[in-house]
Amino acid sequence: MYLGRVLGRAVCTAKDPTLKGLKLIIVTRIDGNGNAKGKPFIACDSIGAGQGETVFLCGGGEAAFPFVKTRPPSDASILGVIDNIKG
């Protein structure tokens, strides 16, 4: 699992059928201090995250687990919203 910040939403009309109805979110990975790490990417949203929120994500094969019935082809899924980070 890792941290990210929601930058916005992606909309696509042509996509894999298993992605139908899923919210696609543009996210950038962040470190524990909130600093961006790397390039933005697309993640499937399983919880309804909004723009600017700090979230935690999972990647790889586990990214399909929150969507038990459909198992979308995703490398990243948002699992929760972080309220605050204490050091």
**63 falls within a domain:** yes
Write the CA distances from 68 to 20, 29, 50, 82, 84, integer angstroms: 14, 25, 23, 23, 29
Q: What is the span of the domain harbouring residue 39?
A: 2-81
pLDDT in tens, 38-69: 999 999 888 899 999 999 998 876 655 665 56
CA distance 25 to 14: 16
In a domain, 43, yes or no: yes
Q: In this predicted structure, what is the pLDDT of residue 81?
A: 95
5 pLDDT more than 90: yes
Q: Please report the pLDDT score of residue 40 as a whole number.
A: 97
pTM for this structure?
A: 0.83
DSSP one-letter string for 8-19: EEE--SS--GGG
Residue type, 15: K
Q: What is the pLDDT of residue 1?
A: 86
Q: Where are the beta strands (DSSP E) in 1-87?
A: 2-10, 23-29, 41-45, 54-59, 76-81
Q: Domain for residue 87, yes or no? A: no
Provide the CATH number for the domain around residue 47: 2.40.50.220
Q: How many domains does the chain have?
A: 1
Q: What's the confidence (pLDDT) of residue 61?
A: 64
